[in-house]
Every structure is written in C-alpha cells, then in structure tokens.
Amino acid sequence: QDVIQLTAMRILFDLFFVFGEDLFPAHADSQEDDNGGHTSPLEILLDFLGSEDQDMRTDAAEGFAKLFFADRINSPRIFSRLILLFFNPVTEDDDRLRQCLSVFFPSFAYVSSVHQTLIEEAFMPTLRIIMDAPRTSPLSKVSPSKVMQFLVQLVDDSVIMRREEGMGCSSPHERLAIRLS
C-alpha cells in the first residue's frame, strides 16, 4: 500500500508540474469536505510533508521544491512548511531530505527577487510557528535565531544571479526590517 501511495503522490506532483493550477483550480487554501477529506489535491500533497514515512515526506518536499523552482506554485504558507521541515529535529537523520532542501533553498532564493519576496512573506509566519510551538513539539527545540539568520541570508539581494526590473529601490533586507519593526 505504501508503494501505491508513493506512486500516486508522485503522479499528482507530475500532473501539477505539467498542468499547473489550471488542472487543480482549488488550491492551497481549500477547506475540508463534510467527511473530513480534502477538497484539493494540493492539500493532499501538503499532508505528505507531515508523514511519518521518511520516503513519503522526502518525496513530498522534493515535489514541492520542484514546483517552486518551476514557478508552478507561489505560496508563502507552503514555503514556510518546507523551512519548518528542514529545521525540524525529527528530520535530522533524513539525509536525502536535508540534502534536497539545502540545495533548493539558495538555488531558489538567488535566482529571482520575486522568489526573495516570497521568502519575505514566509518569514514572520515561520518564526511565529517556531516561537509558539508547545514544549512537547519538536519545533520547540528549534532556535528562532538560526532560522532567522538562515532566512535573512536567503534574501540577500547581493547574491541574486539575475536582476529583475520593477522591484523598486528597497532591498529585501530593508523590507524585512520594516516588517520586524
């Protein structure tokens, strides 16, 4: 059954990658239906990020990383979930997950200022989740300052590989400082 579930998940990611949100009009902010099921394939995929099964969780993270990198999704909420997964002590021994995300984050962030804006939008919600985590949660062991330092590094516009026009004169660091004040 796990093999079937893993294959189905991969198929959903492939469909989303090829057809984008046009194939799945209800997306990240969908609600549960009357039976407690999800009304959006994207919500189903999000559930896999919290899977106890290491392969399912890692493949889900890799799928979302690919969708972000291909600009198929632009959700600060999902990006935040990837950051939380990366720093979560539960995934400490998941080398494949950590390697995937450690390559994805800078590659994604340093390609485009639009990507850095997405990271800015995920910044505060991510920190709030970590700081509000109950003591029983593994996230309570995550250092908010390390996460903050990591995210600030990702929005360093001096290392953007490609400059884009029309972003205005303020840098991501300036915009983050305004959000934090």
- Tell me, what DSSP letter sits at residue 38? B
pTM for this predicted structure: 0.81
pLDDT < 50 positions in the chain: 27-30, 38, 161-167
Cα 18 to the center of its chain, rounded Å: 19
Question: What's the confidence (pLDDT) of residue 76?
Answer: 96
| Cβ within 8 Å of residue 114, ≥6 positions away | 164
Number of neighbouring beta carbons within 10 Å of residue 81: 21
Question: What's the confidence (pLDDT) of residue 27?
Answer: 45
Question: What's the confidence (pLDDT) of residue 43?
Answer: 86
